[in-house]
Amino acid sequence: MNADLSVYLVTDSRLAAAAGHDLVELVLAAVEGGATAVQVREKDAPAREFLATVTRLGRAVPEEVALLVNDRVDVFLAARGSGARVSGVHVGQSDLPVAAVREMIGPDALLGLSASTPEQLREAAAHPSRVDYVGIGALHPTTTKRDAPAALGHDEFARLVAVGDLPAVGIGGVTEADLPRMRAAGAAGAAVVSAICSAPDPAVAARRLRAAWGASS
d(CA 79, CA 176): 32
Q: Which of 13, 41, 87, 116 is catalytic?
A: 41
Give me the amino acid identity at 2.
Answer: N
Q: At 1, which amino acid appears?
A: M
Q: Which residues pair with 59 in a beta bridge?
A: none
- Give the active site residue among 145, 183, 208, 210: 145
48 counts as catalytic = no
Angstrom distance (rounded) from CA 121 to CA 134: 8
pLDDT digits (tens, 9 = 90+) for 60-114: 999 999 999 999 999 999 999 999 999 999 999 999 999 999 999 999 999 999 9
* Cα 128 to chain centroid, rounded: 22
Active site residue 43: no
Active-site residue, from 6, 114, 116, 198: 114
Q: Tell me, what's the pLDDT at 145?
A: 67
**Quick one: how far is CA 210 from the chain centroid?**
15
> Could you confirm whether 146 is annotated as catalytic?
no
Nearest-10 Cα torsion for 130, 184, 6, 35: 160
* Inter-axis angle of helices 202-215 and 23-33, nearest 10: 30
User: What pTM was estimated for this model as a whole?
Assistant: 0.96
pLDDT tens digits, one per residue of 28-40:
999 999 999 999 9
Q: What is the pLDDT of residues 134-157, one digit of tens each?
A: 999 999 998 776 666 789 999 999
Residue 88 contacts residue 65 (beta carbons within 8 Å): no
In whole angstroms, what is the distance from residue 28 CA to residue 74 CA? Answer: 24
The answer on pLDDT for 217 being more than 60 is: no
